[in-house]
């Protein structure tokens, strides 16, 4: 087969800040998926895109090319309206776990295709895999069966969904091009559009623990993704939410599952409950379900029933004890006062160093490792009070985690200003 383009010409065009044509984009994404364009060539193109950006039309065409590299899913046979949520990720962000059963209990169908954690941000599949017996890999037929029966499923994306993205995502991670907004937006939206859902709510996080720590950049990413979704016929909206402080009180896989179950049982931290219900209401509105209060599903047990059925449908035992860590240590307050700030990224890095995260995609995670927070900004503490408890299977990891936490928590006199972003910073429709 004679190729219509040379990769080097496309690289040079973007290097020189030219606009790539529809055909150039379609070819280079397809050729990279086929192995005709080499990793080093796509690395150079990704860097050119990071440095020089893309027009709106280029981003649309790049996203379409990613979608066209694989299959599209079809949920039209479901008796429920389909709606999904995507979070750009953060520290303690376990919202998917209670959110999916809440929306399912209200009558929606949520095909939540999730990923694994890398670096200081946790992955939904890693959390779920701490449940004994639970499996992430489902066939399309199994996924449809769980959706039909329960109304919600959390699983890994199949190999056929946007395979170009799978290759490019791994490449971006090792070439310093993760932050390119056109590539982030097309990566997320190609998979979500290929899912074939009717509605999509984006939770774009900002703050120290977020992928996009700069609020202006987070907004630009959110605007780009909303535009891509709408252009593809998916009713899309976005919330920009805070990730300057960890969400909830648990950071780490099994610890976050336990906290999610606590929320489903009608308890749990206020911020996790609040964000779960805000996102649930947005999703239900997009699905046209406006006569149900999602908070009621937490009070009457319907969300917990949906959770248990969803876990069991994927081989998990919802009654089995979650794995714990072999070692723990406590970080104490060094003075009396009020907690004024807590660096989410530092907490995330510490949990990662304890074994809760991975440096490379193939690395295992320790399901019981992580951190339980005992105080957050606004809480009054006394000298010697516990600020957090660290858990790991390997005691030597404590020193590395404690190093990451140096200066992460500030305690000031009672009455000091509390440094926190509002939970919901903006809403884009």
Q: Among all residues, which ones are annotated catalytic?
A: 86, 165, 172, 187, 191
CA distance 145 to 191: 20
The dihedrals phi and psi of 206, each to the nearest 5 degrees, come to -145, 155
User: Of 58, 372, 35, 21, which Cα lies nearest the Cα of 228?
Assistant: 58
Find out whether 317 and 335 touch, Cβ atoms under 8 Å. Answer: no
DSSP string of 207-224, one letter each residue: STTSSS-SHHHHHHHHHH
H or E segment and range at residue 387: strand 386-392
CA distance 111 to 346: 32
User: In DSSP terms, which residues pair with 392 in a beta bridge?
Assistant: 327
CA distance 273 to 270: 5
The structure tokens listed for 271 are 């911020």
For the purposes of burial, counting CB atoms within 10 Å of the CB of 231, is it exposed (0-12), middle (13-18) or buried (19 or more)? middle
Q: Residue by residue, what is the 3-state secondary structure of 135-175?
A: CCCCCHHHHHHHHHHCCEEEEECCCCCCHHHHHHHHHHHCC
Q: How, if at all, do strands 370-373 and 250-251 pair?
A: antiparallel
3-state SS class at 411: strand
The structure tokens listed for 164 are 């170009």
Find out whether 267 and 304 touch, Cβ atoms under 8 Å. Answer: no
DSSP string of 214-263, one letter each residue: SHHHHHHHHHHHHHHHHHTT-EEEEEEEE-SS-SSSEESHHHHHHHHHHH
The structure tokens listed for 210 are 């977020």
The full length of the chain comes to 429
The structure tokens listed for 282 are 């947005």
């Amino acid at each position: 087969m004679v190729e219509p383009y040379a990769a080097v010409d496309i690289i040079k065009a973007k290097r020189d800040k030219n606009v790539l044509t529809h055909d150039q984009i379609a070819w280079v994404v397809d050729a990279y998926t086929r192995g005709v364009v080499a990793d080093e060539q796509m690395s150079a193109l990704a860097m050119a895109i990071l440095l020089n950006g893309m027009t709106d039309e280029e981003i649309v065409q790049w996203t379409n090319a990613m979608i066209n590299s694989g299959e599209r899913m079809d949920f039209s046979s479901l008796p429920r309206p389909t709606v999904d949520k995507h979070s750009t990720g953060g520290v303690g962000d376990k919202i998917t776990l209670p959110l999916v059963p809440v929306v399912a209990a209200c009558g929606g169908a949520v095909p939540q295709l999730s990923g694994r954690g890398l670096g200081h941000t946790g992955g939904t599949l890693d959390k779920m895999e701490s449940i004994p017996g639970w499996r992430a890999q489902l066939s399309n037929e199994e996924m449809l069966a769980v959706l039909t029966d329960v109304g919600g499923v959390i699983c890994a994306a199949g190999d056929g969904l946007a395979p170009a993205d799978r290759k490019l995502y791994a490449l971006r991670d090792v070439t310093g091009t993760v932050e390119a907004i056109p590539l982030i937006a097309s990566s997320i939206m190609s998979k979500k559009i290929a899912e074939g859902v009717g509605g999509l709510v984006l939770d774009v996080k900002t703050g120290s623990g977020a992928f996009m720590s700069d609020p202006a950049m987070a907004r630009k990413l959110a605007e780009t993704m909303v535009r891509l979704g709408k252009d593809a016929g998916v009713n899309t909206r976005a919330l920009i939410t805070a990730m300057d402080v960890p969400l909830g009180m648990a950071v780490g896989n099994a610890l976050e599952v336990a906290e999610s179950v606590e929320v489903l049982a009608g308890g749990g931290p206020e911020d996790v409950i609040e964000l779960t219900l805000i996102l649930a209401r947005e999703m239900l509105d997009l699905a046209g379900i406006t006569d149900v209060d999602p908070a009621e599903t937490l009070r009457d047990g319907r969300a917990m029933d949906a959770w248990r059925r969803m876990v069991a449908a994927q081989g998990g035992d919802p009654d089995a004890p979650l794995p714990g860590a072999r070692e723990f240590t406590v970080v104490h307050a060094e003075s009396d006062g009020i907690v004024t700030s807590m660096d989410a990224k530092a907490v995330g890095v510490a949990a990662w160093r304890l074994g809760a995260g991975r440096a490379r995609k193939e690395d295992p995670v320790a399901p019981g490792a992580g951190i339980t927070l005992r105080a957050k900004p606004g809480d009054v503490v006394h000298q010697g009070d516990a600020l957090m408890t660290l858990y790991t299977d390997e005691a030597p990891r404590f020193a590395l985690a404690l190093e990451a936490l140096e200066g992460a928590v500030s305690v000031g006199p009672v009455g000091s200003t509390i440094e926190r972003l509002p939970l919901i910073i903006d809403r884009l429709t």
